[in-house]
Amino acid sequence: SRDAGHRPPRRRQEAEHIAWDVGLRLGPGSRYEVQELLGDGATGRVLGCLDAETGVFVAVKVAKANRRQSKQAMAEADVLRRLQCFDKSRCQRSYANLLDTFTHAEAHVCLVFEPLAKSLRGLMQEVGGKGLLLSDLREIASQLLGFLAFMHEAGVVHTDLKCTNLMLRGGGFDRVPHPRCPGAWAARLHR
């Protein structure tokens, strides 16, 4: 037959998420103690950790252990540092605060962020078909446009804007990118 000897294309081996359990220690000097899973994404996993040095809860974004995800995580850290150098106070208001970076087990690039509450998508799922108040939509749009203006001034283009990457904090839209913080959620944006 025509297909005799034809092999199907090989699927690329998908890199695994970091294996974790409560109490796992990450970072230099085992600084970060895993408390919980905050979320999984295509490129990695976000773990809620207690910072042993400060006693503060942080979100550690752990890239999958492959070259592509490692490069992407390092590029994200570089862009965040560039934005902080451009205008630290505006960066902290517009983007999740990058607190630390390290490599775990010589395989997983890790970015440590301040924790944020939930994504805009999470809020939309929570309110279901009820929608959001017009005043809240205006606030979200205003902050998003301010963020985009800041990125433009800094010469950076965000190539992955979506509802899952627009993060809410405590009582409203606040910053971009990923981690979610456990605990009480102020329901300001709910109808």
64 is in an annotated binding site: no
39 and 62 in contact (C-beta within 8 Å)?
A: no
CA distance 33 to 49: 5
Q: Residue 118: what are its φ and ψ, rounded to 5°?
A: -160, 165
Choose, from 51, 78, 87, 160, the residue flagged as catalytic. 160
**Terminal CA-to-CA distance of the chain, rounded, Å?**
64
Question: Active site includes 160?
Answer: yes
CA distance 43 to 182: 21
Q: Which residues are annotated as a binding site for ATP?
A: 61
Residue numbers annotated as active site: 160
Q: Which residues are annotated as a binding site?
A: 61
